[in-house]
Structure 1
Amino acid sequence: MTTPWVPQTPHQQAVLDVLLNIRALNDAMDRMNGGMKDDMDMNATDLAALRMMIVREQRGEPVSPHEVAKHLRISTASTTKLIDRLETAGYIERHPHPRDRRARILTLTAHSRATFFRHFSEHLEQMRQVTEPYTEDELRLIGKYLADLGQAIDPA
């Protein structure tokens, strides 16, 4: 597309309104993450790695250095430096993999969890309060839409 899209129908205007609201949400999330990144004295990639590990931990899924590299789309050398930084700062620990003695898994430290949730707990509560009034059917639809949108943006 070489020219801006201009809605021609009420439906197209509604689509544009939703997309503009998603952009505003993304900007708000960037500001929220930026504040945490600054408070924790880390770069955006370090914070993204911790967020990924928090989500995986909540699902009960182990995280390997390879999975961090794949998620962040960075080289193994960059991943090693990132893991070293996070370990030195006391945010993660390396452990032997439970089934593969050659491999390692990464875990969050209690300090990391406490710091992460101290920064995000108020935001998460506010987001929960906004989400709570929706019906289960509405939430399933919103969830499907967000998952579909995420897949369209990043099919990996």
Structure 2
Amino acid sequence: MNAQGHAKGYWYGKDPGRKEIAVGVLNALRDYRTSEQAMRRRTRSSMLMGEKDLLALRYLFEAEADGRVMKPKDLGERLGITSASMTTLIDRLVDSGHIRREPHPTDRRALILRPTPASDEEVRHTLGGMHRRMLDVASALSPEESRIVVEFLEHMREALDTVDEEPGSTGGSAGETHPS
């Protein structure tokens, strides 16, 4: 175990060819994810909201910033939830004053969802300091360092997104092989 409580390469096998620095990078990434998850729990607790509620607000803020409208169906697809769950989520966010339903600007039969100004203020108040600190850290990187970090994270995302596409896999767990 090291000072951070990580076993040296526990998850990555006992291959002596593994570079210690690579395992250190993966452990740092794991520590970051742990901190991010803890921050999300604190935010949900502070705002008295569930994870999907906060994610819905994020998508609505993004759509508004981009000048797009968001229908309940669109939001449900982004969140990966059923229409019944979407209705419950919308009712909860409307009742709490975080979003409002409005008529669609061009389709009289449809409704759109918009975050309320109070919701925007609450999110900015709750997360503003953390976002500024994160931006400060990212801004301290040189353009070359930024490019390297972005490429690394994109490659890590690709590695995670393709876990079920391992050669010889037919949808089983990663690392399982099945005879042809």
| 1:97 match | 104
Q: Secondary structure at the match of 2:26?
A: helix
Listed one character per residue, the Cα deviations across residues 133-154 of structure 1 (whole Å, up to 9, x for unaligned) are 1122322332343344335435
Higher relative contact order (CA 8 A, sep 6+): 1
Amino acid at match of 1:58: A
Identity of aligned residues (%): 30
Amino acid at match of 2:65: Q
1:149 to 156, 162, 180: 156
Unaligned 5+ runs, structure 2: 1-9, 163-180
Q: Secondary structure at the match of 2:12?
A: coil
Larger helix share, 1 or 2: 1
Farther-moved stretch of structure 1 (76-85 vs 14-23):
14-23
Listed one character per residue, the Cα deviations across residues 55-92 of structure 1 (whole Å, up to 9, x for unaligned) are 33333333221222122211110001001100110001
Q: Does 1:9 align with 2:17?
A: yes
Amino acid at match of 2:127: F
1:113 to 104, 109, 120: 120
| 1:59 match | 66
Distance in 1 of aligned mates of 2:90 and 2:105: 19
Q: Secondary structure at the match of 1:32?
A: helix
Q: 1:153 to 1:58 in 2, by over 3 A?
A: farther
TM-score if structure 2 supplies the norm length? 0.72
Q: 1:112 to 1:21 in 2, by over 3 A?
A: same
Q: Does 1:73 align with 2:80?
A: yes
**Max radius of gyration: which structure?**
2
| 1:36 match | 43
Distance in 2 of aligned mates of 1:97 and 1:51: 20
2:137 to 108, 115, 130: 130
Distance in 1 of aligned mates of 2:16 and 2:64: 45
| 1:84 match | 91
- The total of aligned residue pairs comes to 152
